[in-house]
Structure 1
Amino acid sequence: MKALCLFGFLLLLIPAFTTAQNLGSNTSKQEVLDAQSARITAMLNADLGKLDELLTEDLSYAHTNGWTETKSGYLETIRSGKIDYVSFVPKVVEVRVYDDSAVLTGKVDVNLGRTDFSIRFLEVQRKVDGVWKLTAWQSVLNKVD
């Protein structure tokens, strides 16, 4: 009888633990989205100091044309104005968090002043010393919708 009561009590606790896990997951997802937003703002403003803080040292940044850059190359591209983003607006972003890593997928509307287009992206962030940082970016032109 005691075992049955204990089992019943433990069953009552399951929703509480599930809710706590979901809240933590939603908090982590929001932190990842906040880091993405901060990085995009820094990119649009060519804030190299902030960008440097939000990128991992082993960054791999692949543009829609296949051109791939390291962290130093990407920062130089932004510094030089080789790519000068007027706007970069994420749409329909999905976030999946796995411990200290996160995978984001979605669509972005991009405006470079002389041209605008839509891309699909895969983004990987890693939590380093409590800060979510971009570690990989891959994008392709969105010609479907």
Structure 2
Amino acid sequence: MQDVLAVDDARTAALIAADRPALDRTLARELRYVHSNGLTQDRAAYLDAAVGGAMQYRVIKPLERQARPVSETVVLVTGSNHVEVVLNGKPLQADVLYTAVYVKEGGGWKMTAWQSTPAPASK
């Protein structure tokens, strides 16, 4: 599972660096990305927004992460992140819970689905 987590790390680094070619290499052709506010994007819309668009990621800090194989070609990554992003010019900080689905595509692991939700407030 280390190879999948390495791709997940590369995806995160590409988001923070706003490196479109690097991010592009980590995403499957049929990506479906569901943000914690419910906004759903396909691959093209997500790339446009995440690199040079409405979202500028500043910090993505993993708080917890686990990879679980479903088959030889599908791995689920679940966890939580602390995220700091500038969204449409406004800074936002949030802790989110997420599920990411990685598939073997083109000889490597690619993220094909992401869904996140706000984490419950700490007590």
TM-score, normalising length from structure 2? 0.89
Selected match of 1:101 from 74, 86, 96: 74
Aligned AA (1:103):
L
Identity of aligned residues (%): 31
Moved over 6 A (4+): none
Cα distance in 1 for residues equivalent to 2:80 and 2:119 = 8
Deviation at 1:127, TM superposition (A): 1.2
Looking at secondary structure, tell me which structure has more strand per residue. Answer: 2
Cα distance in 1 for residues equivalent to 2:120 and 2:53 = 26
Whether the 8 Å contact between 2:65 and 2:78 is mirrored in structure 1 is yes
Partner SS for 1:40: helix
> Does the alignment pair 1:87 with 2:59?
yes
Whether the 8 Å contact between 2:18 and 2:52 is mirrored in structure 1 is no
Looking at secondary structure, tell me which structure has more helix per residue. Answer: 1
Aligned AA (1:120):
L
- Tell me what 2:24 maps to: 52
Moved more, 67-76 or 104-113: 104-113
- Tell me what 1:131 maps to: 108
Aligned pairs, number: 117
Larger of the two Rg values belongs to structure: 1
Cα distance in 2 for residues equivalent to 1:35 and 1:61 = 16
Deviation at 1:61, TM superposition (A): 0.3
Listed one character per residue, the Cα deviations across residues 87-124 of structure 1 (whole Å, up to 9, x for unaligned) are: 01122111101211100111000012522110000100
Cα distance in 1 for residues equivalent to 2:103 and 2:8 = 12
Please, what is the CA RMSD of the aligned residues? 1.2
